[in-house]
Structure 1
Amino acid sequence: MSSEGTPGEGQYWYNVNTKTIEKGAQSDWSQLLGPYDSEAEARTALEKVQARNEAWDAADEDDE
């Protein structure tokens, strides 16, 4: 048996359904953003997603 542990164990995840931070992936992967190295990083997950989406939308508009 491997001693590596569960993937993502010890890292932080943002749960988009409960809007909470999880240490180690505790929920279904389809509900999680991450992994992040710190709780603070995980707390900004939605902001990062929104900023990336806006950048992609702007790039798409430039391509038209």
Structure 2
Amino acid sequence: MQISYVELQGFRKLARIRIDFNDTITLFVGANNSGKTSAMDAICAFLAETHSFTTNDFTLSNWSQINAIGEK
């Protein structure tokens, strides 16, 4: 099986992105603090069996919804 793309939403500073993978190699290119490392960390988190998320992994704009879920 080959993954052709991933979509990320609400992970760190990444509000919503789609990453299309090439058949042979995919490069992340961008300015400092543009989300390259965050995108890679999100992909690794879903592929690794031992990774756990922390509160810092969620975009600040989602905190009110997270708090509301916690209060229920």
- Shorter-chain TM range is 0.3 to 0.5
TM-score, normalising length from structure 1?
Answer: 0.33
Which is greater in Rg?
A: 1
TM-score, normalising length from structure 2?
Answer: 0.31
For CA contacts below 8 A with separation 6 or more, give which structure has more relative contact order: 2
Question: Which structure features the higher share of helix residues?
Answer: 1
